[in-house]
Amino acid sequence: MGSPVHDGLPPYERMLEERIGGAFSLLMQVRMLIAAITLGLVPSSSLELKLVVLVAIVLLVSWQAARRRRTIVPWLLRSPGWLIIDVGLSFVVLAIGGSSGPFLLATVVTAAIAGLLYGWRGMMISAVQVAGYYTAFLLTVDRVGTDLATFQTVLGQPVYYPLVGYAGVALRRLFEQQVAEARARTRAEAMAAAAEERGRLAREMHDSLAKTLSGIAMAATALPLWVTKDTDRAAREAAELAAATAIASREARSLLNEMRSDNLTRPLPEALREVVDRWAESSGLRVECELRQDVDMSLRARYEVLSILSEVLSNVERHAEASAVEVRLDRQDDTDGGMAVLTIRDDGRGFRVESLEHLVRAGHYGLVGLHERAERVGGTVEVGSVPGAGTTVRVRLPVRELDSTSGSTLAEVG
């Protein structure tokens, strides 16, 4: 579980923080390995209790930092001063173990962490570590002998800190580039899905609202004639005009609701529930809704599955004569990458399922459209129905693994 600070971040910052946290944990594990190997390299004649205690402290601190990185990384990112504790531990390691000994490598990890967490600002930590190295060198040179004051110990080894710090900076920049590419890809997907949605709404407006309004206009044109020639027929025509106007109003309201909807920018289970709740309110039918929360998919697949759900529910309302509907979202992991499974089941009158070829020949394009929508994003649709026993529509679409970009990430698109 993430920390409260972490959970409150904007989506793409959270994505970056997750990747930095993973690299931080790996660096801590590397330091644990280095510390353990270092202890084994110390000659038995030079092995002292304080060295053993020092290595134990380094191992414990590194292990806890790796284990609790979801709490520690956000904390360090927002309070850089706390990294000085690790810098101080590095100085103690050099002062006790010797600046020229194998313990040097364990302290270099701190420079990589600083570059990873803070970018170029983290290079200042490397400068502090270089100063700490020279201080430790001066404190221990008399103990080990002046013959160790060589080019390697005076100039070569301190260079490790800025070099490794730069490696941490480069790794952070790589993560930032990946996040920027993910942001651009998500925006492109959203724009493509929005364009497709506008096209669909335009087609629906032409097929439904425009035809209804055209019929109203024709009937209204003929109404004055019927008023003068046949008042009873005029009354019937006026009643039909009122009914058609009410239908046009509902169609317009439905299209406006879809145009205003932000379903593409919300977590998939939440978007599906909104479609179901809105339909249940307008149809008056009872709906049981059970949606698994850890299922998500690409924006294009999200658009198609929401459209499929809307079409199926609309068909239930118009044709099924059902009293209850069940909508479930689940996941199957028995295929490559996993599949999201959306099931819509009603208790209506059902029908005899025909092949797609027969449906096309008969001019019934609704079910054909469901299959086409699913196939566009690598999915399938199965329709099962028995006359008098209801209908089940099962949609399978590829899932996208939930990470820091899922769900609320899409809320940033706009």
Q: What is the pLDDT of residues 262-296, one digit of tens each?
A: 556 677 888 899 889 988 888 888 899 999 988 88
Give dist(CA 160, CA 9) in Å, integer. Answer: 34
User: 162: which 2 tokens?
Assistant: 């800025």
Name the DSSP class of 101: S
Question: Which ranges of 261-349 does DSSP label H, i.e. alpha helix?
Answer: 268-283, 299-315
What does the CA dihedral 311, 317, 322, 326 come to, rounded to 10 degrees?
Answer: 40
Q: Could you tell me which residues are beta bridge partners of residue 342? A: 329, 395
State how far the alpha carbon of 228 is from the alpha carbons of 11, 22, 62, 216, in Å: 67, 82, 94, 19
Nearest in space to 74 (alpha carbons), one of 18, 25, 11? 18
Give dist(CA 275, CA 265) in Å, integer. Answer: 14
330's enclosing H/E stretch is strand 324-332
Name the DSSP class of 296: -
Burial of residue 136, with CB atoms counted within 10 A of its CB: 0-12 exposed, 13-18 middle, 19 or more buried: buried
| The CATH number of domain 266-414, selected from 3.60.15.10, 3.30.565.10, 3.40.50.2300, 1.10.287.3510 | 3.30.565.10
Q: Could you tell me which residues are beta bridge partners of residue 346? A: 325, 391
Q: What are phi and psi of 353, to 5 degrees?
A: -75, 130
Query: Which residue ranges make up each domain of the chain?
Result: 4-183, 266-414
Name the DSSP class of 260: H
Per-residue pLDDT of 304-355, as tens digits, reads 888 889 888 988 888 888 899 999 999 887 655 688 999 999 998 888 777 6
Give dist(CA 374, CA 22) in Å, integer. Answer: 35
Per-residue pLDDT of the chain (414 residues; tens, 9 = 90+): 444 444 445 667 888 888 999 999 999 999 888 888 877 776 666 667 777 887 888 888 889 999 999 899 989 988 888 888 888 888 887 887 776 666 788 888 899 999 999 999 989 998 998 898 888 888 776 655 544 567 677 788 889 899 999 999 999 999 999 888 888 887 777 677 667 666 666 666 665 666 667 777 887 887 888 888 888 888 887 887 777 777 677 666 655 555 555 556 677 888 899 889 988 888 888 899 999 988 888 777 887 888 889 888 988 888 888 899 999 999 887 655 688 999 999 998 888 777 666 655 544 456 777 888 888 888 888 888 888 889 999 999 988 654 434 433 333 333
Give the contacts of 136 (CB within 8 A, at least 6 positions apart).
91, 94, 95, 98, 99
Secondary structure of residue 287 in the 3-state scheme: strand
> What pTM was estimated for this model as a whole?
0.54
State how far the alpha carbon of 333 is from the alpha carbons of 170, 209, 330, 393, 405, in Å: 36, 42, 10, 20, 21
